[in-house]
Amino acid sequence: MVANESSDGTAARPPEPAPGASEEMALVEALRRGDAKAFESLVDSYTATMLKLARSYVQSTHAAEDVVQETWMAVVTGIERFEGRSSLKTWIFRILVNRARSRSRGDRRFDLGPAQTGGDEAPGPSVDQARFETSGRWAGHWAVPPAPLPEDRLLSAELRAVINRLIDRLPPRQRSVLVLRDVEGLSAAEACEVLGLSEANQRVLLHRARVKVRDLLEMILDEEMSA
C-alpha cells in the first residue's frame, strides 16, 4: 500500500490539526518574529492569572510581580525552543511555576513542591459532616444540600469580585489548582503538568477548593438574605 493511501486504496486524508492549533502556531510564529502586538495581547490575556498563581508560592505581591516579569522575559528569550508538545498557555504557566518555586526557595520561604502540602491535604472530610444523614436508608446522603446560587448574582461584577477574594483565601495549592482549572480553563492533565501533581492529587485539591469557595459564598448570601 502506498504511504498516502488508506486500506481501501483511496487517498488518505492528512491528520486534522487540533482545534485552535493553527491559531496558536500563528501566534508562536508572530512572537518569534518579534511582533510587539502579539506579545502585548499575550501579556494582557495571562498576566492577571499569572500574578494569582505566583502569589500562591511567594509571600508578597512585589515578589509575585517579579516572578511574572521574569517569566515573560523567559518566554521572549525561549520562544524559539517552544516545540508545541503542550499548549503555549501550559508552557508559559509551567515556566512561571518553576520561577516562583525557585524564588520561594531563594527567599527561604515555604516551598509548595510535592513533598509539602501546607495543610491543603489534611485528612478528614472536605464538607461538614453535619450536612449528611448519618443513619437509616439515606445515610451518607445530603441532609442539608447546597443551596442553588442565584444566576443573576453569579453574573454580577460585585459577586465575581467577592469570589475572587474567596479564592485568594484558599490554601496555596488549592488556589493554584482552582485558578488553572476554573479560571483559566486548563484540563486536568494540563494542570497536573503545570503544577507537577498526580491526577489523584489534583482532583482532591480541586474538590476541596471548590467546596470551600461554595461554602463561604453560601454563608455570604445567607447573611445578605437574613439582613
Q: Does 132 fall in a domain?
A: no
Of residues 172, 195, 175, 203, the one with CA closest to residue 93: 195
> Which among 106, 135, 154 is the end of a domain?
106
Asked if residue 53 lies in contact with residue 176, where contact means CB atoms within 8 angstroms, the answer is: yes
Q: What angle do CA 121, 122, 127 make, to 5 degrees?
A: 90
What pLDDT score was predicted for residue 68? 96
Asked if residue 111 lies in contact with residue 56, where contact means CB atoms within 8 angstroms, the answer is: no
Q: Does 8 fall in a domain?
A: no
The count of structural domains within the chain is 2
> With a threshold of 0.85, does the pTM exceed it?
no
What pLDDT score was predicted for residue 130? 54
**Domain match, 222 and 147 both:** yes
Residue 164 is part of a domain; what is its CATH number?
Answer: 1.10.10.10
> Which among 56, 87, 106 is the end of a domain?
106
**Domain match, 96 and 152 both:** no
What does the buried/exposed string (b/e) look like for 72-102 if buried means 16 or more CB atoms within 10 Å of the residue's CB?
beebeeebeebeeebbbbbbbbbbbbebbbe
Q: Does 120 fall in a domain?
A: no
Q: Does 115 fall in a domain?
A: no
Beta bridge partners of 40: none
Mean pLDDT by 10 residues, the chain (227 residues): 46 47 89 94 94 90 94 95 91 95 72 44 47 54 51 62 86 93 92 95 93 84 67
What pLDDT score was predicted for residue 14? 45
| Domain range enclosing 175 | 143-226
What pLDDT score was predicted for residue 155? 52
